[in-house]
Structure 1
Amino acid sequence: MNKQVLLSLFLASALVCIFGNDATDDREPPTILVALLVRNKAHTLPMFLSYLDQQDYPKQRIAFWLRSDHNADDSVNVLKQWLDHSAESYHSVNFSFETDEKSYPNESSPYEWSSSRFKNLISLKEEAFGYARDIWADYVFFLDADVMLTSQDTLTKLTQLRLPIVAPMLLSESLYSNFWCGMSEEYYYQRTDEYKEIYHLKKVGSFPVPMVHTAVLVDMNYKGVKSLTFDKSKLQEMQKNRKQEPLFDGPSDDIIVFAISANSSGIPLHICNEITFGYILQPLEPGDSLDNDIQQLVHIRASMITDLGEVPPLHDYYQHLVTKPEKSKLTLDHIFMINLERRPERREKMEKLFDEIGLDVEHFPAVDGKELNVERVKQMGITFMPGYEDPYHHRPMTMGEIGCFLSHYRIWVKMVQEKLKEVLILEDDIRFEPYFRSNAVRVLNQARNVVEYDLIYFGRKRLKEKSEPWVADTDTLVHAGYSYWTLGYVLSYEGALKLLAAKPLEKLIPVDEFLPVMFNRHPNKTWSEAYQKRDLVALSAAPLLLYPVYYTGDFGYISDTEDSQQINVESNEGEARLKSDREQVFLKEVEDSSEQQLKLGESISGTKSHQEL
């Protein structure tokens, strides 16, 4: 008897059923039936379907069931393209598209989850669940159409776990994902420490959780699975029959009802983070627009480049649907990216990022510390701060640190020579935060309106201080304290003049030590007093707009500044700080203020976005 699997997807949700007792045995692989019901997902479907097609699973063992309704976009035509080009590769495809209705009754927005929309979605999921039972599916995989399964091993990995209900952990903006580690008494998301541990891979494996959604694999042979439901009335009826008190009195919400039905039936739910399965877009709110979803997609594609090195390829017949933002300089005169010529892979990766985000950036060749030596440094007229010692390693400067300083220094010189008023200087190992372009412009506009700034940190390692006061009449800027890193900062023409006027090459220290000296927030008074004028006006974006790709100890971490030849100078004692480590924990009021600026707050009863982040 052939094994079979059903894979089905619908509305903002999709369902996958996998047939077969064990996909890891020597028998013929299970057959997969994909049932897809889509609404207004024309912008995500090309990636969604392309990545499903790239699953490492025999296509002749996969069949599809497609349904689509209430579309106000081109979703049906995108699906038809897939049918024309890919359908013959699969076992079979059954489809039906309704094009008459564009919206639900009394719907104020395509992103509003009204009672009628919930009712329709729940009915469809129940129908698909029943269909899976009727055809003796061994596994059911509920998959949202906003999921990008970039791992080709997703189906194989999940079925091999042999868990009754398991979800592949998906990445998104901030801390949003497709699982909860806590549920409130009102059946909504509740923050726990374990959630961050799982999301940030502090613990790796498969873990029991009270809620999984969006991408959920169910073992149909597990005892009690027949009691699983998305329908509130069916759940209550089941609880009555079992004399389970109190009866569920929460919302008529598909994912909440499903989780409670599993809990009521003694079926554990798990989240798995053993591999990077893929990405997920966050649900939109009624007041959002299609542009909000497209901006999320921009960030997801940028995250793929940062994490995977590239956006996994789409089908050729979808390439014409891919649009990228027009290049921008963020209202600045120029943007430079510093990059070593011997690091072409970093330059290539960053240029892909700039294409995805839409940044007009000029490559600026870095001064390579490996090409420097003591004699050449002397010929440049460079002398060092007497007694300088790295605060963490207790060593003199390295040739890499000298090259790094000279790279930034040459941009400052170029700014003055060409009279560039405002410039963003980036390094080549950074990760952009979501909505970088719009947030950067907002930061710049607020700064211009309230203060004549010299420097704005877009990314840094803020070191623990008593306070960093907010810039008056802004909600995105603080007065910068002692900070490490030069990942990305905006420098004004006046700021470049001040930095050059200090003649830093005559008493050289690393550039990320020099900058806080110049705005008089460096704790080493000996170094500070070596520079008479320390009046740089330095601000920082809050929250920050970019971060390092790697930190000390991360797999793939390389430091071209620290891993190079040292210059021998006299040393003295200093306070130890790990420069390349992660940021230190800041004051609670700063953290709370930053959290308030996140796009998605805690869930509100009646909305589809159940999770706080």
Structure 2
Amino acid sequence: MKKQVIFGLLLASVLLCISGQDEEDYQEPPTILVALLVRNKAHTLPMFLSYLEQQDYPKKRIAFWLRCDHSSDDSIDLLRQWLNESGDLYHSVSYVFDPDEQSYANESSPYEWPASRFKHLIALKEEAFQYGRDIWADFVFFLDADVLLTSKDSLNVLTRLQLPIVAPMLISESLYSNFWCGMTEDYYYRRTDEYKEIYHARKIGSFPVPMVHTAVLVNMNHKAVRNLTFDRNKLVELQKSRQHEPLYDGPADDIIVFAISANSSGIPLHICNDITFGYILQPLEPGDTLEQDLQQLVNLKGMMVNDLGAVPPLLDYYKHLERKPVKNKLSLDHIYMINLKRRPERRAKMEELFEELGIEAEYFEAVDGKELTTERLQEMGVRFLPGYEDPYHHRAMTMGEIGCFLSHYRIWVTMVRKELKEVLILEDDIRFEPYFRQNAVRVLNQARSVVEYDLIYFGRKRLKEESEPGVTNADNLVHAGYSYWTLGYVLSLQGALKLLAAKPLEKLIPVDEFLPLMFNRHPNKTWSEAFPKRNLVAFSASPLLLYPIYYTGESGYISDTEDSKQINVDTNEEGEARLKSDREQVFGQGVESTLDQQLKLGESLSKSHQEL
């Protein structure tokens, strides 16, 4: 069994005075005891403590039991600062800090787990559990310092479930989370289809699972929990006393022993995804570095901006510790972000993402289709490709699509005027994949080293099941086939010149139809004949680096290109548009088959035994 490393353990024993009566009979909220074990977590402690303090829960019903040892960073100093600034807000605080012990015997890395570390960790967890029993706690909540509970209602939701053992489902930069849906007979992680259904919230609720860890709430009012343990010897003794066969012969791993002790005592474990509770960092392994954990934080912050609108703020006395990447242009000449002036919330969100991810981009005001008229288009010299209709919904172009094309067109013109050799063009409704900056530069360097390119899709919707051969001597590039969407693409100066030379305003079609037509992968040969010089050299990143935030039909989906008037190219009469942008299609390349590519492309993907 390969240890799932939890370096910097945070145990949160939650003592909740719930006796089983109806909620309206409660005189006051449950009491919560947070027992905290910290090691080398100075980079996550400010966020962890800030988000815990922002819980919608009375501070005077929360007590803390803190222990910090074997730590070589500033964890103790940060905990002392928290005690000085916030300790009096809570019911009580008990703490012991040992700055002298900074490593374990035979330890080559802070992320290694020698036997001495296991022994010490298990003893402390047992001590915390017993402390909860001694003070008649109603609940014990075990938390790790890598857990960022961004939902202010986390404690309320979990305690109201009244389950014997339940974990809040946490999101990571990949498929890693704090639960298993399958376990082998020899206690290894086993992949199941249900795992992804729960993780992606395709089904919502509380579900029985064989393993929960890292953030675990235990209901101490359940009679059988007195038998729960993290200690292998205690587990075996329990099994012997109950004549349980076979006796546990697995590793002295605290989370596995705990799960088996629950199973041996007839106590079910549950994972809950009723709400988005928060996020979790993947565990590091001995060969990893702190820089990899810091990059994980950058990725999670990007996810928070997408999910929550912004990264939740730190406590005032921790704000000076906030670190953001130094912005750069990804080795490009410029980055433009297209945004409608009447969508300031999208611009604000994108600018927040640029801050958190370290991307230097310039706002480029989009042409608003709602302000266009047929008369204005005629004045601009815009004419439409005869016979054009949307290939999927058989409608004419919408004013939104026209505005979208003109927005991209103006950037192409700007590139030529300013002689910008390589430009990334982004729309304002995108989600960056983890390690975007590193992977974008990697893809660009691969393209530059093998061929002169004109266009590289960073995000797209593949529309046709056709061959997309890989680019020779480039691991993460393919020759792009018929694709929709202009979420994000890199365009070279030579590519901009080719697009403008086609005089697209004289025979206008939507930009995401025009681009594949220009690299001669469009299936409509009649349209293709209208543009005789179709020599754009177009690639796509593989795997993709950008995706839409929302797809058609999802809550929050808005399309300014589709949800607008359409123009009849024959009569110039306007009518209602119909939607065309459904969820991305992938042909012949499922999640499992792309894993090897993701591992090549990812800057620091976990080597954990659990889902990537």
TM range (shorter): over 0.9
Tell me the equivalent position of 1:563: 563
Deviations 1:202-246 (A, max 9, x none): 111111111111111111111311111112222222222222222
Tell me the equivalent position of 2:244: 244
Deviations 1:63-104 (A, max 9, x none): 111110111111111111101100011111111110112211
How many Å separate the matches in 2 of 1:532 and 1:563?
32
The answer on 1:20 being equivalent to 2:17 is: yes
Contact 2:13 2:132 (C-alpha < 8 Å) held by counterparts:
no
How many Å separate the matches in 2 of 1:10 and 1:434?
22
What SS class does the counterpart of residue 486 from structure 1 fall into?
A: strand
Relative distance call for 1:596 and 1:218 in structure 2 (3 A) is same
In the TM superposition, residue 113 of structure 1 has moved relative to its aligned partner by 2.1
Where in structure 2 are the equivalents of 1:4-83 lying within 5 Å? Answer: 11-21=8-18, 24-25=23-24, 26-83=26-83
Relative distance call for 1:106 and 1:226 in structure 2 (3 A) is same
In the TM superposition, residue 188 of structure 1 has moved relative to its aligned partner by 2.1
How many Å separate the matches in 1 of 2:568 and 2:434?
43
How many Å separate the matches in 1 of 2:238 and 2:451?
64
How many Å separate the matches in 1 of 2:561 and 2:290?
43
Relative distance call for 1:112 and 1:78 in structure 2 (3 A) is same
Contact 1:602 1:612 (C-alpha < 8 Å) held by counterparts:
no
Tell me the equivalent position of 1:425: 425
Contact 1:173 1:434 (C-alpha < 8 Å) held by counterparts:
yes
Tell me the equivalent position of 2:574: none
Tell me the equivalent position of 1:493: 493
In the TM superposition, residue 106 of structure 1 has moved relative to its aligned partner by 1.4
Tell me the equivalent position of 2:597: 594
Contact 2:304 2:311 (C-alpha < 8 Å) held by counterparts:
yes
Unpaired runs of 5+ in structure 2? 1-5, 572-577
How many Å separate the matches in 2 of 1:470 and 1:234?
56
In the TM superposition, residue 479 of structure 1 has moved relative to its aligned partner by 1.2
What SS class does the counterpart of residue 566 from structure 1 fall into?
A: strand
Tell me the equivalent position of 1:480: 480
Relative distance call for 1:10 and 1:388 in structure 2 (3 A) is closer
What SS class does the counterpart of residue 226 from structure 1 fall into?
A: helix
In the TM superposition, residue 447 of structure 1 has moved relative to its aligned partner by 0.9
Give 2:610's aligned amino acid: Q
What SS class does the counterpart of residue 449 from structure 1 fall into?
A: helix
How many Å separate the matches in 2 of 1:226 and 1:594?
47
Where in structure 2 are the equivalents of 1:455-604 lying within 5 Å? Answer: 455-569=455-569, 579-588=580-589, 591-597=594-600
How many Å separate the matches in 1 of 2:355 and 2:255?
37
How many Å separate the matches in 1 of 2:594 and 2:464?
13
What SS class does the counterpart of residue 353 from structure 2 fall into?
A: helix
How many Å separate the matches in 2 of 1:505 and 1:393?
23
Give 2:139's aligned amino acid: Y
In the TM superposition, residue 344 of structure 1 has moved relative to its aligned partner by 0.6
Give 2:449's aligned amino acid: N
TM-score of the pair, normalised by structure 1: 0.94
The answer on 1:95 being equivalent to 2:75 is: no
Give 2:594's aligned amino acid: E
Could you tell which deviates more after superposition, 367-376 or 283-292? 283-292
What RMSD, in angstroms, separates the aligned Cα atoms of the two structures? Answer: 1.8
In the TM superposition, residue 355 of structure 1 has moved relative to its aligned partner by 0.5
Give 2:448's aligned amino acid: R
Give 1:263's aligned amino acid: N
In the TM superposition, residue 570 of structure 1 has moved relative to its aligned partner by 5.4
Give 1:18's aligned amino acid: L
Give 1:451's aligned amino acid: V
How many Å separate the matches in 1 of 2:81 and 2:527?
65
In the TM superposition, residue 529 of structure 1 has moved relative to its aligned partner by 1.9
Deviations 1:399-439 (A, max 9, x none): 00000000001000110111100000000011111111111
Unpaired runs of 5+ in structure 1? 1-8, 572-576, 604-608
Deviations 1:337-391 (A, max 9, x none): 0000000111011101100101110000000000001111111111111111112
In the TM superposition, residue 540 of structure 1 has moved relative to its aligned partner by 1.0
In the TM superposition, residue 567 of structure 1 has moved relative to its aligned partner by 0.7
Tell me the equivalent position of 2:175: 175
In the TM superposition, residue 295 of structure 1 has moved relative to its aligned partner by 0.7
Give 1:195's aligned amino acid: Y
Give 2:482's aligned amino acid: Y
* Count of matched residue pairs: 595
Tell me the equivalent position of 2:402: 402
Tell me the equivalent position of 1:6: none
In the TM superposition, residue 600 of structure 1 has moved relative to its aligned partner by 7.3
How many Å separate the matches in 2 of 1:418 and 1:585?
37
In the TM superposition, residue 304 of structure 1 has moved relative to its aligned partner by 1.0
In the TM superposition, residue 300 of structure 1 has moved relative to its aligned partner by 1.1
How many Å separate the matches in 1 of 2:560 and 2:188?
47
TM-score of the pair, normalised by structure 2: 0.94
Relative distance call for 1:129 and 1:355 in structure 2 (3 A) is same
What SS class does the counterpart of residue 561 from structure 1 fall into?
A: coil
Tell me the equivalent position of 1:286: 286
In the TM superposition, residue 592 of structure 1 has moved relative to its aligned partner by 4.2
How many Å separate the matches in 2 of 1:467 and 1:264?
53
Where in structure 2 are the equivalents of 1:166-565 lying within 5 Å? Answer: 166-565=166-565
Contact 2:435 2:603 (C-alpha < 8 Å) held by counterparts:
no
Relative distance call for 1:523 and 1:184 in structure 2 (3 A) is farther
Deviations 1:442-490 (A, max 9, x none): 1111111111111111111122423321111122111111111100011
- Percent identical residues: 74
Tell me the equivalent position of 1:127: 127
